[in-house]
Chains A and B, each alone.
Chain A
Amino acid sequence: MSASRPDNSELQMNAYFDGELDAASARVFERRLANDAFLKAEYARFLSLRHAVRSIAPYDLPSDLLARIASTLDASSLGEAARPAGVTAQATIQAVARANPLRWAGRSRQRSWSFRALAAAALLGAVISSYVMVTINRYNLRQAIASQVVASHIRSLMAPQPFDVASSDSRTVKPWFTARVHEAPQVLDLAPQGFMLVGGRVDVVGHDAVATIVYKHAAHTISLTTLPPGQSVSDRAIAGYNVRSWDDAECTYMVVSDLPHAELIAFERAFTTESAALEYN
């Protein structure tokens, strides 16, 4: 796994190549580049790759797509009495059409849209409502998961200690998880940022054992639960506890604490920064 992670100089090169390094780092990198044959060769490959990718003929917007979108929009708001936006949408499209007269030869065909628009509206209505149903289901599921995570946090606060393994050393906590949950989480020490690692515990969400890392901030306990990806919820308070969650490629992280949201945002920032630093060093 770590073997396939790009190393730091590789990332620096990408950042330099994309003009994303600040001036000072760029100068430092340029000096390295000048003295490193391998890096130089790599940079040459990057340049020719960019040239090659940018020489692919661009996909051009089909000439009648704008018109079709305009009629879709008109159709979708047939029920609304006033629709200034649609009027301007048409105006904009006509302006675009005037600018490209040749590509708009097929436009007159689009004039007789009223019946098709009605059919399209009905179809769109069906599509949208099924989409909304799926979204609502997913929303309920996520809400239920967040509630379970909060319940675990509350339960842990009632126990003599909010963790199963006590350690401020991430090298102790991580292997402890490895033996207990399917996917051992990243255990980061965030003490320099004001969040003290105190231990870890296993929570059960649904029927799955998940890893929760426990931090202290002043007298407050923070539970950081690592879930399979795609379970994040918007910021909310459940049973008086604030919940914040975010995703990365591998998992969803959910923090629960009685700290205010601003502190949870600070925690997330500390965590993601540290996580990125760890990943690329």
Chain B
Amino acid sequence: MFDEVFLPHMAEAYRLAHWLTGNAYDAEDVVQDAALRAFRGIKTFGAVNARAWSLTIVRNTAYSWMTKNRSKAVVFTDDLSVTEQQQIEQEGPQGTRVETPEEIALFKADAEEVQRALVKLPEQFREVIVLREINQLNYRDISEITNVPIGTVMSRLSRGRQLLIAILGDRR
């Protein structure tokens, strides 16, 4: 049972853990811990969506792992800090509104820059972007994994994208 449910998603599980924790060592610990939890909790698997179920465990394990192992507590807030808000307001939609179509170039940022920008995002935005763009999950699954309503997933994705665009646009 465990082999059919959790193991097939191990690569994705690792990828998500890596993005959430920010490094390979922690990701390995989290995936091991998550595998153990999944193995023990396999009876709670409702035979609906093995992928979402597995990634939910990985995500929750990652956050409890970080809370336990890092002095800096995991802070969840849906509100941006004042500077972040200003950043969006100045460099986001309003800043770009005045651009002419020719100026709206595609990003010149290379993969490394994008990666750094994504790492910089507050984690509630980073996790939805990673789940959507890298794990390529739909809203319903993301909502299930992150345990927030679909509306919140949508607004976080939207704000996360704006933030990334603002950060990357800065470098142009």
Contact = CB atoms under 8 A, between A and B. Distances in A.
Contacts of B93: 42
A48 to B, nearest CB: 4
Interface residues of A, number: 62
A4 B115 CA distance: 25
Contacts of A56: 111, 114-115, 118, 134
**Most A C-beta atoms less than 10 A away, residue of B36, B76, B107:** B36
Contact of A59 (B24, B42, B99): B24
**Most B C-beta atoms less than 10 A away, residue of A13, A48, A60:** A48
Given A18-B132, A59-B24, A249-B124, A69 B35 contact: yes
B18 A59 contact: yes
A14 B159 CA distance: 10
B164 A65 contact: no
B96 interface: yes
Nearest to B169: A45
Q: How large is the interface on B (under 10, 10 to 19, 20 to 34, 35 or more residues)?
A: 35 or more
Given A52-B109, A61-B11, A72-B36, A276 B151 contact: yes
Interface string A6-28: 10001101110011100000000
B35 A6 contact: no
A69 B11 CA distance: 13
Interface string B131-162: 01110001100000001111110110111011
A13 B31 CA distance: 34
A18 B101 contact: no
A55 B106 contact: no
B165 A45 contact: yes
Contact of B158 (A11, A58, A247): A11
Interface of A: 1, 3-6, 10-11, 13-15, 18-20, 37-38, 40-42, 44-62, 65-66, 68-69, 72-73, 76, 85, 88-89, 91-93, 124, 131, 229, 247-250, 272, 275-276, 279-280
Interface of B: 1-3, 7, 10-11, 14-15, 18-19, 24, 27-28, 31-32, 35-36, 39-40, 42, 64, 76-80, 85, 88-89, 93, 96-97, 99, 101, 104, 106-107, 109, 111, 114-115, 118, 124, 129, 132-134, 138-139, 147-152, 154-155, 157-159, 161-162, 164-165, 168
